[in-house]
Amino acid sequence: MKKFMYTRILIVCSLLFLTACASTENGEGSSDGNETIYFLTKVLGNQYWSVVEEGANAAAKELGVDLVVTGLANEAEVEKQVQQLQDAVSAGASGIVVGPTDSTAMANPVSEAFQSGIPIVIVDTMINTDDYSVALMTDNVEAGREAAETMLELLKNRGISESEEMKVGVQIGASGSQTIIDRLSGFNEYWDLHAPDTWQVLNEDIKVNDGDITKAVGFTQDMLTAYPTLKAVFGPNNGSTVGFVTGLMEANRTDITLVGFDFSSEIEDMIRTEAYDVATILQKQYLMGYEGVKQAVELARGIEPDQKVVDTGTMVITKDNIDDPEIADIINP
């Protein structure tokens, strides 16, 4: 009897062992909902990135995974983001979602993390390496073209003469961001093809505010003083746009056309104030955060994405469409 029972135990143990091996070889058994996803945002508390974070949190809750969020005080803290990435790898992250603050400086660290076997999802800003799993972002060159086209329409609607000499001021959050580089490229490409020769973009005097709103407001004030023929300003990221909005409204400069990016309470106030000439390019950042975490979880569970780079799309917000239901669905997902 004892021998019979011993034999039965051996058979059961063998079956359990074989089942476990088969499960491992097939990539099954990893979708137990215990994954930990790290989300490396850019600037903590920034309105744009707060919405990205909301999307990330929603996906984590829906999928039943843990989400660890880290971020920066400003976009100049590149070394800090490198360290945060390395910490996530050391902690054994199931997947990492990152909005690179510098596309070049973050390239090697991201590549090393990817080569270690951890799924890497890039959001908002492209990285200068192919070593990542999937990227979710705006087509930033096209968005830059869209911004230039919108500005030209606004200026012409204001009645600015094509023979009049005028300047367009620009400030950016970070010089190393591929997102900003691409938006400026698209903007200048469209401008050079369609704007009068007398309408000059101040590309030789682009200000870098490091995502610091106080700096951005100061740069706005400097431009208003330095360039008497300034007629328009372009902010290719959220912080720069908010800086322009604040500076122009404080100075009551209703004679300056603004085209910016993203949406915040400050930008909304300016759009809704009749005297100001303004438009903003609305991105779908909630979708970036939500899909970023979702893709990271699926990758951790062995599910490969359909495509490596996903364009999340944009819309132009003006006084004419700010209350449209389609816009409202993006602003308040």
Each residue of 230-276: pLDDT tens digit?
A: 999 999 999 999 999 999 999 999 999 999 999 999 999 999 999 99
What is the model's pLDDT at position 333? 81
Question: What's the fold here for domain 36-138+285-312?
Answer: Rossmann fold (3.40.50)
3-state secondary structure 246-276: HHHHHCCCCCCEEEEECCCHHHHHHHHCCCC
Tell me the C-alpha distance between 57 and 51, whole Å. 10
Asked if the domains at 36-138+285-312 and 140-283 fall in one CATH topology, the answer is: yes
Which DSSP state fits 204?
G
Residue boundaries of the structural domains of the chain: 36-138+285-312, 140-283
For the segment 37-64, the average pLDDT, to the nearest whole number, is 96
**CATH class as words, domain 140-283:** alpha beta
Alpha-carbon separation of residue 13 from 18, 21, 30 (angstroms) = 9, 12, 22
Q: Which helix (H) or strand (E) holds 53?
A: helix 47-63
What is the model's pLDDT at position 148? 99
Res. 23 pLDDT band, cuts 50 70 90: very low
| pTM of structure | 0.82
Q: Does 320 have pLDDT greater than 50?
A: yes
